[in-house]
Amino acid sequence: MNINRRKFLTTLGIAAISTQIPSFAVKANISPNTMIKPPRLKLGDTVGLISPAGIVDSEDVEQAQQIFTGLGLKVKLGRHILDRYGYLAGKDKNRAGDVNAMFADKSVNGIIAMRGGWGGNRILPLLNYKSIRANPKIIMGYSDITSLLLAITARSGIVTFHGAVATSTWNNFTWKYVKSILFDAQAVMMNNTFITQLTREIITPGKAKGKLIGGNLSVINSMLGSSYVPQWKGSILFIEDIGEDVYRVDRMLTQLKNAGILNQLSGFVFGQCTRCSTGDEPSLTLMQVLQEHIRPLNIPAWYGSMIGHIRDKFTLPIGIEVEIDANAGIIKMLEAAVS
């Protein structure tokens, strides 16, 4: 267990405290008006850890178990959590099987992905969305886990959570939002203006309300045209990414525009584009790209929120009503995300 994780648990003062899966047919997306809020987590509950995308090793799993038991939770491991198949954490049917099994398991109260990577899109046709809707529970992750979050929100009508994976840095900042939103059922206000090292730039000032939808930009683009994306009309879109040259961000935003998504939004937040460079060739800046694509929409928008491949992360409920204030850089939940 690394020093930061051990120190975090000490600081909190609570350290004591398949078989072959068929392709399930899916129909039209669930209406945003029939969303189900999963039950909140409580101390003593069981969280299921799964590897639906990239591979992890036994040390990752051991550290994750120590973190969550230190937070007062029990841990149940997915049957195939340590499987390996090239760059994937096992065969598609087995990774999907672990997702389906965790939702169907009555002893499991929440599900957290071990890490992102790649592989989420591959298992979307193998998820049992009917069973997932019948057994609503918290599922959380980010990066490639965007695939599962959006598909489950769209197809099962369950609020999902864009937030820390098990291998994230579970520090006080991250835990604050996990606890407030997932345990205490609070409608919180997310504001990072006090984080001095973070650059925040207003694209278009103003306030807006709408259903919060989003995740990793590259993953969202890879899902376009499929039946696994939510309804965009009137939504607040948040995005983040890592390791993409600016021209690629331009290309992906152009695709969102050409797909008719950007002009349906009521608000826009770009969290962090970590290690997104202009490269060695002549390039636009990231802000130039954002201004060209987003400013003409005339919707409240800004860049620089605590979302993405960074140490300190917000927990963002996908599918609930929020209000954003681009001037102040605030995302305000208008309702609790759990029941």
Task: Annotate 94-106 with DSSP letters as a single string.
Answer: HHHHHHHHHHH-T
What distance in Å separates the CA atoms of residue 192 and residue 311, rounded to the nearest whole number?
Answer: 13
Write the CA distances from 126 to 19, 90, 93, 270, integer angstroms. 12, 14, 7, 31
Catalytic residue among 218, 240, 244, 305, which? 240
What is the crossing angle of helices 286-294 and 246-258, to 10°?
10
Catalytic residue among 143, 156, 218, 266, which? 143
Q: What pLDDT does 19 receive?
A: 35
Beta strands at 46-50 and 74-77: parallel, antiparallel or unpaired: parallel
What distance in Å separates the CA atoms of residue 39 and residue 32, rounded to the nearest whole number?
Answer: 18
Q: What pLDDT does 195 receive?
A: 53
Q: Average pLDDT per run of 10 along the chain, which is 339 residues long? A: 49 40 51 86 98 97 96 97 98 98 98 97 98 98 98 98 96 95 98 68 97 98 96 97 96 98 98 89 92 98 95 96 96 98
Q: Annotated catalytic, 143? A: yes
- The contacts of residue 278 (CB under 8 Å, 6+ apart) are 245, 246, 284, 285, 286
Question: Within 13 Å and on the Cβ side, how many CA atoms surround 223?
Answer: 30
Can you say how many angstroms the Cα of residue 165 is from the centroid of all Cα atoms in its chain? Answer: 9
β strands within the chain, DSSP E: 46-50, 74-77, 110-113, 138-141, 160-162, 189-191, 201-204, 207-216, 236-242, 267-274, 301-303, 316-318, 321-325, 330-333
Q: What pLDDT does 183 receive?
A: 98
Q: Annotated catalytic, 51? A: no
Q: Would you list the domain boundaries of the chain?
A: 3-178, 189-333
What distance in Å separates the CA atoms of residue 35 and residue 48, rounded to the nearest whole number?
Answer: 22
CB contact burial 122-141 (16+ within 10 A = b; e otherwise): bbbbbbbbeebbebbbbbbb
CATH 3.40.50.10740 fits 3-178, yes or no: yes
CATH fold of 189-333: Glucose Oxidase; domain 1 (3.50.30)
Task: Please check whether residue 89 is in contact with residue 119, taking contact to mean a CB–CB distance below 8 angstroms.
Answer: yes
Q: Annotated catalytic, 162? A: no
* Strands across the sheet containing 74-77: 74-77, 46-50, 110-113, 138-141, 160-162, 316-318
- pLDDT for 78-108, tens place per residue? 999 999 999 999 999 999 999 999 999 999 9
- The contacts of residue 3 (CB under 8 Å, 6+ apart) are none
